[in-house]
Amino acid sequence: MSYNSGNSGGWRDDGAMQPHAYDPDLHPELFRGVATRRVFAFLIDMVVISVPVILGYIFIALFGVVTLGIGWALFWIAWPASVIWAIVYYGASIGGASSATVGMRLMDLELRTWYGAPGYFVLGATHAVLFWVTVSFLSPFVVLVGLFNGRRRLLHDFVLGTVVINNSVRIPTPQAARTW
């Protein structure tokens, strides 16, 4: 069993330590500006998520007027539908070909696993849920964690084993492990 003390990677099946695919010491450009870009990507994603939700609420309000108040009963499903929409948005976006949401793509960011594999639907959905849960309970701590590590990972990134990289930088990366 070998341990690579400088890598802080994860254990492989053969007991050896698998290194991180993205090393901030070797490629600091991958993490340059990531924290600021993540903030703007988050704001863009909030707009993308909010527009259909607002349109849905407007539709229900107008439908309620037309149906003399009966249609307003649909307001009880508006909030759960909004949550489901956000989870599906993040899951489908991060699970897509670019491993990034619309905001992340506009800011040249990409979410990867610590070993270099692209995101997938369950990872994207879990990433969103865990982000909102951690922000709800530990708001300043979640953001502060990203300022004190070389990869600019937030608290939920550590829990899920993900890293967000600057996609405009191209470096050779090791072959990603299979995700199936």
Q: Give 39-50 pLDDT, tens digit per residue.
A: 999 999 999 999
Phi and psi torsions of 164, nearest 5°: -105, 125
Rounded-to-integer distance, Cα 137 and Cα 123, Å: 21
Structural domain boundaries of the chain?
27-166
* pLDDT at residue 92 greater than cutoff 90: yes
Q: What percent of the chain has pLDDT over 70?
A: 83
d(CA 104, CA 108): 6
pLDDT band at 7 (very low <50, low <70, confident <90, very high): very low
Share of the chain above pLDDT 90, in %: 58
